[in-house]
Amino acid sequence: MNNMIEIRWHGRGGQGAKTAALLLADAAFVVGKYVQGFPEYGPERMGAPITAYNRISDERCSVHSNIYYPDYVAVVDESLLESVDVSKGLKEEGAIVINSCKEPEELRPMLKGYKGRIYTIDAAGISKAILGKSFPNTPMLAAMVKITGVIEEQAFIDQMQKSYEHKFAHKPQVIDGNMQVLRRSMEEVKG
Amino acid sequence: MAIHERLSGNEAIALCLKQINPDVMCAFPITPSTEIPQYFSNYVSDGLVDTEFVAVESEHSAMSGCIGAEAAGARCVTATSSCGLALMWEMLYVAASMRLPITLACVNRALSGPININNDHSDSMGARDSGWIQIYAENNQEAYDHMCCAMRIGENPEVMLPVMICQDGFITSHAIENIELLEDDVVKKYVGEYKPEQYLLKHENPVAAGPYDIQPYYMEHKYQQAVAMKQSYDVIRKVFKEFGEISGRSYDLIEEYRMEDAETAIVIIGSSAGTAKAAIDEMRSEGRKAGLVKIRVFRPFPAEDIAKALSGCKAVAVMDKADSFNAQTGPVYAETCAALFGKENAPKMINYIYGLGGRDVSTGTIKEVFAALDEIVTTGVTGETYRHIGVRGL
Amino acid sequence: MVLKYTPAAEINEQSKWYEMSPGGMICEPGTSRLTKTGEWRTTTPVFIADKCKHCLLCVPVCPDGAIRVKDGKRGEFDLEYCKGCGICYKVCPFDAIEFGGDK
């Protein structure tokens, strides 16, 4: 299918990788894309490795399987590099975005011969600095939007502002912090 | 004007039920259908519907509550999956035999064991002989659309049968996808009011429902059920056609995809049909004449339609997301073979048991099936008909 | 075709499938009157009016309403609906019902 982007998310139960995938689908929908956002469900356990997926394209996608040859991979927890083959099937012309304070090339040896682009973002650090707690999925979402280019950046920011205003209607004080996290993450993702 | 949204299958069903505003919902939570009564009970709390929500203590009670309420004259709905549907088993038959057009949102999940929460069709396939109409969705859009049609089908005086609206657990129920919704008033008007001729709360003429039925009467009543199921073919077609007029989306008992000149084809139900369509597009671009028949309505079984659709094929694989453990076939294959029995130029047929307990079905899986069909066409040898795909060691 | 709701009195063992109410629904009240259970009786209870204190304990235990009550007083058996089960005889504390005679 033309213009279809397939994304695979790796995270740990409770970190919000599934939520990030659904938020990305949401944002892409608002700018007029056809979207799929779905997690691979198993026994839900806090901390266990989980996978979630996105398909985003200009026409409806009828495929309802997991994604084996993703264009992009997001790794919400750096420690997964040791236990999960996160770059499996990842297209060489694609990219992987990892939540880490390390330099991208430092992580290459852990990616089983993957030759494509690597990006890192200190998602935990940014989240802690601005929100006081580690919510790595918000910075990861922003980094993925930046790297994949699946949504125009300003359109994404505008949509997230609206989404947070709705989601945090009962505690508006957290909206600005989250918006700051998104903007800073887009600036600081490096590759 | 269509409303463009992005919803999961469960959200779509809950929203459709909100638009319909049924009289009663009796439900008990079970993964992956839990979200349907969960979202719906929010609508109840927020005063967006005037449905009486009955939080029962089991699925047996959920269906019993639906039966009591529907017999009393109320339009009744429930939702369940897997073992929940199994616990309803006894009452499913009672609902159908009492001719109560209850609507059940079934979110298909493997029926234990070993215990597993993911998708296959063993729950609703097990209930296939309970006398319920069964309609299966490929995606969230179809789940929503089928739910819009369910009550007009079930409540039709020529039918008066309960209806199960099935979608694949997690694959459809928990995946966010684009969807086109109808406005509330359009759905409400299309579905209309439930006006049974006789019901328990008709104070000017009290009735008795569900009496003991002795030998001189039982078989006549079961024959009435059989006739109702036969009559439902035309009612379903009519309701789907009328739905097409308000939504722009027309459905039939089966969907044929690139069947016009297909030499090999698969017969399949549910979300994997979409995956198969993508695989077929790829094979077509390589010049292979592949096609697909998707069974939308499994009860009543569209035997004539399927036989006609497959008549020009050389080899066909029928895909079963449930095993019958008869050491011969899955349920869809058995019925498809029955539909083709005695027909001239019937294709060679094989059966695949696939996708059990959430085993992923990719375009690659489908292409493997077509490769096996091509081999049958080339060699002329059908070989083993009872096959499994995706099992390690085969 | 649409099945009709047929009065119970019009349904019998010769009725065709399309002459019977859908789902076996009994579409009018009071249809137990149509079944004359007195015909099943092999032993007949006898009411001894002199011994009866009108406690009415016999009335609710009768499976078929064969004991008539008028103005708080127990009346004679309605033998059209007495199938001769003898429960009333067992329950009567005053020996006001005899049981064991022929039909």
* CATH number of the domain where residue A33 is located: 3.40.920.10
- Across the range A31-60, mean pLDDT stands at 91
Q: Which of C1, C2, C12 to substitute to test the interface with B, most B CBs within 10 Å?
A: C2
Residues C28, C44, single domain; the answer is no
Say yes or no for a CB contact (<8 Å) between B198 and C24: no
Res. A3: pLDDT tops 90 = no
* Residues of chain B scoring pLDDT < 50: none
Q: Which helix (H) or strand (E) holds B146?
A: helix B140-154
Same domain as C39, residue C62 = yes
Q: Which of B32, B176, B271 sits opposite A64 (nearest CB)?
A: B271
Q: Give me the pLDDT at residue C101, please.
A: 62
Q: Which domains does chain B have, with CATH numbers?
A: 3-247 (3.40.50.970), 254-388 (3.40.50.920)
What domain range is A166 assigned to?
5-188
Average pLDDT over residues C84-95: 96
Chains B and C physically touch (3 or more Cβ atom pairs below 8 Å) = yes
Torsional sign, CA A133, A135, A138, A141: positive
Mean pLDDT for chain A overall: 94
Q: Which of B91, B112, B105, B132 is nearest to B35 (CA)?
A: B105
pLDDT given at position A163: 87
Q: Is C56 left (phi over 0), alpha (psi -120 to 50) or beta?
A: left
Check A36 against B117: CB less than 8 A apart.
no
A24 touches chain B (CB under 8 A): no
Are C43 and C4 in the same domain?
Answer: no
Residues A17 and B384: their CA atoms lie apart, in Å, by 44
Measure in Å the smallest separation between the Cα of B374 and chain C Cα atoms: 46
| Residues C58 and C100 occupy one common structural domain | yes
Q: How many domains does the structure of chain A reveal?
A: 1
DSSP H helices in B175-317: 184-191, 215-247, 272-285, 303-310
- If asked whether residues C76 and C88 sit together in one domain, one would say yes
Q: Do C29 and B198 touch (CB under 8 A)?
A: no
* Closest in B172, B176, B274 to A62, CB measured: B274
Task: Give the gap in angstroms from C-alpha C62 to the nearest C-alpha of chain B.
Answer: 20
Residues B192, B152 contacting (CB under 8 angstroms): yes
Q: A53 forms bridges with which residues in the sheet?
A: A8, A38
* A to B CB pairs, distance under 8 Å: 71
- Residue with token string 């927890």: A77
Q: Which of B157, B207, B217 sits opposite C20 (nearest CB)?
A: B217
**Can you give the pLDDT at residue C102?**
55
pTM equals 0.95
Number of compact structural domains in chain C: 2
Is there a contact between B350 and B372 (Cβ–Cβ < 8 Å)? Answer: yes
Domain residues for C85? 35-103
CA distance B247 to B182: 7
Give SS3 for B309.
helix
Contact B176 A22 (CB under 8 A): yes
State whether residue B302 sits within 8 Å of chain A by CB: no
Q: CB of B64 within 8 A of CB of B102?
A: no
Closest Cα in chain B, distance from residue A41 (Å): 7
User: What local confidence, expressed as pLDDT, does residue A145 receive?
Assistant: 96
| Per-residue pLDDT at C103 exceeds 80 | no
> Residue A2: which pLDDT band, with cuts at 50, 70 and 90?
low
Strands (E), C1-103: 44-47, 67-70, 73-77, 97-101
Q: Which H or E run includes B86?
A: helix B82-97
Say how far apart CA A137 and CA A17 lie, in whole Å.
6
Tens of pLDDT along B333-386?
Answer: 999 999 999 998 899 999 999 999 999 999 999 999 999 999 999 999 999 999
Chain C partners (3+ C-beta pairs within 8 A): B
Q: Do B208 and C16 touch (CB under 8 A)?
A: no
Q: Show residues of chain B in contact with A39, CB under 8 Å.
A: 170, 174
Chain B residues within an 8 Å CB radius of A25 = 6, 176
Give the C-alpha distances (Å, rounded to integers) separating B358 from A41, A64, A137, B121.
9, 12, 26, 10
**CA end-to-end distance (rounded Å), chain B:** 51
- Taking the CA of residue B191 and the nearest CA in chain A, the distance in Å comes to 28
Summarize the confidence of residues A63-86 as an average pLDDT.
Answer: 96
The token duo for A91 is 């297209």
Phi, psi torsion values for B367, nearest 5 degrees: -65, -35
Instruction: Record the tokens describing residue B386, joined without a space.
Output: 């009872």
One domain for residues C30 and C43: no
Q: Which two tokens stand for residue B369?
A: 């099936």
Tell me the mean pLDDT in the region A101-121: 96
Count other Cβ atoms within 10 Å, centred on residue A65.
21
C-alpha distance from C4 to closest chain B C-alpha (Å): 10
Are C72 and C101 in the same domain?
Answer: yes
Residue A25's identity, in one-letter code, is: A
Distance from CA of C34 to the nearest CA of B (A): 15
Q: DSSP assignment, residue A190?
A: B
Ramachandran sector of residue B360 (left: φ over 0; alpha: ψ -120 to 50; beta: rest): beta
Cβ neighbours around C68 below 10 Å, total = 13
HSE at residue A131, side-chain half, CA atoms within 13 A, is 22
Q: Are residues C45 and C95 in the same domain?
A: yes
Beta strand ranges found along chain B (DSSP E): 3-7, 24-27, 52-55, 76-80, 103-108, 133-136, 163-168, 176-181, 254-257, 264-268, 290-295, 297-299, 315-320, 348-353, 386-388
Nearest to C24 among B157, B197, B217 (CB): B217
Residues C41, C91 share a domain? yes
Do residue C54 and residue C78 come from a single domain?
yes
Q: What is the pLDDT of residue C100?
A: 79
For residue A23, what pLDDT is reported?
92
B170 contacts in chain A (CB < 8 Å): 38-39, 41
State how far the Cα of B114 lies from the Cα of B186, in Å rounded to an integer.
44
The DSSP secondary-structure symbol of B101 reads -
Report yes or no: B168 at the A interface, CB cutoff 8 Å.
yes
Residue B30 in tokens: 């079970």
Are both C92 and C51 inside the same structural domain? yes
Give me the pLDDT at residue A41, please.
81
Going by C-alpha positions, the residue among B105, B140, B102, B108 that lies closest to residue B249 is B140
The shortest C-alpha distance from A60 to chain B (Å) reads: 8
Nearest-angstrom CA–CA distance, A180 and A127: 9
Interface of C with B (CB under 8 A): 1-3, 5, 11, 13, 15-18, 20, 22-29, 31
